[in-house]
């Protein structure tokens, strides 16, 4: 589904060149659940932003469904982003002036779906994440876990090819984190491809494949065994 080949991302701090990503290769197949871990500054969020075409690499090739999208225009990338990717952020990023239903309808409006269709789809998604009883509530009337459920519903609005989550449980209590991760597991079992960035070994255990980054390089990329999942969840 996705192939990154020789991806490099460079920044400059004054005259100092920093390789946030140092010529990495990564493939993602449809239906996978990948967790990305690494210390602060290892390139996790940079990689996620490039996967979701929120940022472009300095060098390398990005293939989406065998099509090279590396050098497309901003307008074309925006179209691809809205069609193929759903985003979940640590801080939820809900619009405070919109209620839960209206927040989920936003990507559908960008996709120019008819209003009646937007309302129907948003209600279905809020029901999917067990938030149908909070349709008219605004973000400041919802708990952190509830806000993240609305954010997940919004991310699914346009049936994305890939769901990208950056520390999706970072602001949540442990019981709410567990609920959100169980929800993501259910979505993956239903066929949604998911990539999560996390610093938490417990959260990483919900994935099926673990990619570790250090200094902008992939230092390991391997399936997560059932034994490893059990050990991480028990804190061993």
Per-residue pLDDT of 59-84, as tens digits, reads: 999 999 999 999 899 999 998 998 89
pLDDT value at residue 82: 87
The more confidently predicted of residues 219 and 83 is 219
> What are 105-133's pLDDT values in tens digits?
999 998 889 999 999 999 999 999 999 99
Q: 11 vs 47, which has greater pLDDT?
A: 47
Contact criterion met (CB below 8 Å) for 26 and 63: no
Strands (E), the chain: 2-13, 16-28, 33-37, 59-64, 67-68, 85-89, 162-166, 193-197, 209-214, 217-223
pLDDT (average), residues 218-224: 95
pLDDT at 230 over 80: no
pLDDT confidence of 228, banded at 50, 70, 90? low
Q: How confident is the model at residue 235 (pLDDT cuts 50, 70, 90)?
A: low
Confidence band, pLDDT 50/70/90 cuts, at residue 6: very high
More confident residue, 226 or 90: 90
- List the beta bridge partners of residue 34: 195, 209
79 contacts: CB under 8 Å, gap ≥ 6: none
Predicted local distance difference test score (pLDDT) of residue 236: 47
CA–CA gap between residue 16 and residue 62 (Å, rounded): 26
Write down the pLDDT at residue 16: 84
pLDDT of residue 232: 56
CATH number of 31-57+74-234: 3.40.50.300
Q: What is the pLDDT of residue 229?
A: 67
Q: What is the mean pLDDT of residues 170-174?
A: 90
Give pTM, 2 decimals: 0.89
- Do residues 204 and 210 touch, judged by C-beta distance below 8 A? yes
Residues 193-198 have a mean pLDDT of: 96
């Amino acid at each position: 589904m996705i192939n990154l080949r020789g991806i490099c991302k460079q920044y400059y701090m004054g005259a100092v060149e920093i390789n946030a990503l140092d010529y990495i290769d990564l493939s993602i197949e449809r239906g996978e659940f990948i967790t990305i871990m690494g210390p602060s500054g290892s390139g996790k969020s940079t990689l996620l932003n490039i996967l979701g075409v929120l940022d472009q690499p300095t060098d390398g090739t990005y293939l989406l469904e065998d099509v090279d999208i590396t050098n497309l225009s901003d307008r074309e990338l925006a179209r691809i982003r809205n069609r193929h990717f759903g985003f979940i952020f640590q801080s939820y990023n809900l619009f405070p002036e919109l209620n839960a239903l209206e927040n989920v309808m936003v990507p559908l409006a960008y996709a120019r779906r008819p209003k009646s269709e937007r309302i129907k789809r948003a209600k279905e998604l809020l029901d999917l994440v067990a938030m149908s009883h909070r349709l008219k509530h605004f973000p400041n009337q919802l708990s952190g876990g509830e806000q993240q459920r609305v954010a997940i519903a919004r991310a699914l609005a346009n049936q994305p090819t890939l769901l990208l989550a950056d520390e999706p449980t970072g602001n949540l209590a442990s019981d709410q984190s567990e609920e959100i991760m169980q929800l993501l597991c259910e979505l993956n079992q239903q066929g949604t491809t998911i990539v999560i960035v996390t610093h938490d070994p417990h959260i990483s255990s919900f994935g099926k494949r673990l990619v570790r980054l250090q200094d902008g390089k992939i230092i390991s990329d391997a399936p997560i065994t059932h034994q490893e999942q059990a050990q991480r969840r028990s804190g061993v």
